[in-house]
């Protein structure tokens, strides 16, 4: 790299044990639970805000 030319690198194999990958997937699954709860709470609060602001204006008129 000192002479300004780029070297090409090719990765042919990555040796990761099967159980290590399983543990990573389990950690991702566990981490997804609080993330989902947070996203649902944000969604519920947003919909509650819209319902409070626009709910009275969206009601059906009384039938005669």
Tens digit of pLDDT at every position of the chain (64 positions):
556 678 888 988 888 999 999 999 999 999 999 999 999 999 999 999 988 888 777 776 777 6
Specify if 34 maps to a domain: yes
Task: Tell me how many domains the chain contains.
Answer: 1
Specify if 60 maps to a domain: no
In this predicted structure, what is the pLDDT of residue 37? Answer: 97
Specify if 38 maps to a domain: yes
Specify if 7 maps to a domain: no
* Alpha carbon separation from 42 to 34, 54, 62 (Å, rounded): 12, 18, 33
How far is residue 36's CA from residue 42's CA, in Å, rounded to a whole number? 10
Specify if 14 maps to a domain: no
In this predicted structure, what is the pLDDT of residue 25? Answer: 96
Specify if 37 maps to a domain: yes
SS3 63: coil
Global model pTM greater than 0.75: no
Cβ contacts of 1 within 8 Å, gap of 6 or more: 7
How far is residue 32's CA from residue 45's CA, in Å, rounded to a whole number? 20
Domain that holds residue 49: 28-53
């Amino acid at each position: 790299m000192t002479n300004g030319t780029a070297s090409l690198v090719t990765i042919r194999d990555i040796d990761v044990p099967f159980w290590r990958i399983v543990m990573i997937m389990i950690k991702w699954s566990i981490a997804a639970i609080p993330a989902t709860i947070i996203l649902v709470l944000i969604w519920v609060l947003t919909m509650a805000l819209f319902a409070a602001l626009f709910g009275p204006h969206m009601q059906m008129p009384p039938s005669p």
